[in-house]
Chains A and B, each alone.
Chain A
Amino acid sequence: MSQDLRLLVQGLHTRLQHDGRETALVRGVDLRLHAGETLALVGESGSGKSLTALTLMRLLARDARWSWDGQVELVDADGQHHDLLRLPEAQIRRLRGHQMAMIFQEPMSCLNPVLTVGQQIAESVRLHLGLSPAAARQRALQALEEVEIAAARQRLDEYPHQLSGGMRQRVMIAMAMVCAPRVLIADEPTTALDVTIAAQILALMRRLQEANGMAVLFITHHLGVVAHYADRVSVMYAGRVVESADVPRLFAQPSHPYTRGLLECLPGRARQRALATGQAPVLLDIPGQAPSMQDLPEGCAFAPRCPQAHARCGAGEVPWQGAPEHRYRCWLNATEGLA
């Protein structure tokens, strides 16, 4: 699996300066993305998934409020490593939209209402490949055809408000794909769409990925989508990855109590439980709330909500447990101790 590394993230921290105090919102995220692979980043709202993506793209506001450190490397086609966190803005701009692209959550508001679809797709090509307006338009048309929009030639001159939600998300994908990026970050691309459209969009992204072998970082809170779409999963809680495995393994034997809790929350599981016990199905949730990032508990951040917490959880940072292909930050099942 280690061939053709595309994106390497190690010890990524993102901090926000607010009211005179600094709060770490992303606290040491490690990710590896390879060609042709989809890594899902899962977690509830506020767990730092989107912030991780924005930090990777260097899209956080350039002012004193945000700071970040860690190691983020993008590997380009020549095998050259780009240090994304330390490159000057001008060089980041050359990579953004070209080597790495991003799809956002709301297809409604991510398109400029006063520019035509064609202008918006062509912009990226003109910026990065320096094509003439006519050639860029041609490329935009191609991109629209690749995302399987009906009557692509006609859509080229339409405004975003004339398109349906699904079509807008296709346009967003076309915008992101038009320069054939090596890494695509998709921040909840299907959350705002209804189920059938979401399935179409996922299938489309899968086809495009197979065609050009890009690596996809797929941010979602929907485990059902993860099961069908991703190759590997990293589960985030309170700004930190708590479990990381490939999809079959994670669903077969979730090892962090938070992951287990997430899986138990799925409606499908409620039905299974009902069938097993012969009682009416009950939807479960994880008791308690995500902790405030400003005063996180000592040790494991999930401990206060964890049904299996014990004294050790509160004592210092939990190291990675398990094998490299399935790691988790939890003392349960630790090689030494309980197991």
Chain B
Amino acid sequence: MAEPQRWWRHLLARRMVLVAAILLGLLLLLTLVGPWFLPDPMALKVSQRLKPPSWAYLAGTDELGHDMASRLVLGARYSLAIGASTAVLAVLAGTVLGLLAGFFRRLDGPLMRLVDAMMAFPDILLGIALVAILGASPVNVVLALSLVYTPRVARVVRACALVIRSLPYVEAARAVGVRSPRLLRVHVLPNLMSPILVQLSFVFAYALLAEAGLSFLGVGVGADVPTWGTMVAASTPYAERAVWMLFFPGLAIVLSAWSLQVLGDGVRDLLDPRLRGAP
């Protein structure tokens, strides 16, 4: 069966993954084409402040009369970009650290103690501390969250690398005369792709949540940048009068985090050649 066809079948066979993929697809589409038909997210209409959802304002308006729907779409850009950058950075760094620690016994001790030390701090606390030091901006949030999640990825990758390095096919590759860098790249890394992909989607989802948390606490991207987190934070004084201000950004956070995790699992199954061809 041709590859695209196989992927398509696989997606159709797993409803949840399909739902997650559609949700994320819609979200991406909205962030791309939303600005074409939604009102200007920065336009202030003080007369229209705190309006409930209607045909004119699909998700209502906030305390300054901004259109919530367009701000949600704008916030999606920031939230997704921060989540994705964090995921990519943390997974890259964590994979390198984990591979080195798992494969070269001499590096294992020092690297893993460093990782343990970093993991001793609660995620959000470490994030707060780092952003407080670096200053509140989207780039600094990405850097801080990458530092927070790198140790997690490193641990997972190291554990898997430890298993794989002792498998007979690695020994068989050595018996053929393969040297360590190539052994890592060609024989070990591809076998780690499924845990790495799962980590990628998990870190993406966690980072999305953590960014919202940091922004909510006021040590995130800065109050002037509209992310879902800052929108939830801004809604708190009005939550009783204008529940939509809390509801829609919250829903966006939950749905995208959920979709990312489900999709990560689905992609893992899809890429694992051992699970291929299974009905």
Contact = CB atoms under 8 A, between A and B. Distances in A.
Interface of A: 57, 59, 63, 93-98, 101-102, 104, 106, 109-115, 123-124, 127-128, 159, 161-162, 172, 175
Given A97-B178, A114-B191, 11 more contacts: A63-B105, A93-B177, A104-B172, A110-B168, A111-B169, A112-B169, A112-B187, A123-B176, A124-B176, A159-B276, A161-B273
A120 to B, nearest CB: 8
Given A104-B168, A106-B168, A112 B173 contact: yes
B177 A124 contact: yes
Contacts of B187: 112, 115
Nearest to B177: A97
A173 to B, nearest CB: 12
A161 B187 CA distance: 16
Most buried by B among A59, A63, A113, A162: A113
A57 B169 CA distance: 15
Interface in B238-274: 273-274
Interface residues of B, number: 22
A58 to B, nearest CB: 9
A175 B274 contact: no
Interface of B: 105, 167-169, 171-179, 186-187, 190-191, 193, 273-274, 276-277
Contacts of B167: 109
B191 A101 contact: no
Nearest to B277: A162
A94 B179 CA distance: 10
B273 A159 contact: yes
22 contacts: A59-B174, A93-B177, A96-B174, A98-B177, A101-B175, A102-B175, A104-B172, A106-B168, A109-B167, A109-B168, A111-B169, A111-B172, A112-B173, A112-B187, A112-B190, A114-B190, A115-B187, A115-B190, A123-B173, A124-B176, A159-B276, A161-B274
10 closest Cβ contacts across the A-B interface?
A97-B176, A97-B177, A96-B177, A114-B190, A102-B175, A110-B168, A109-B168, A110-B172, A124-B176, A112-B169
A20 to B, nearest CB: 19
Nearest to B175: A102
A109 B176 contact: no
B177 A128 contact: yes
Given A114-B273, A115-B186, A159-B273, A109 B175 contact: no
A104 B186 contact: no
Contacts of A94: 177
Contacts of A161: 273-274, 276
Contacts of B105: 63
B167 to A, nearest CB: 6
Contacts of A109: 167-169
Most buried by A among B105, B168, B178, B191: B168
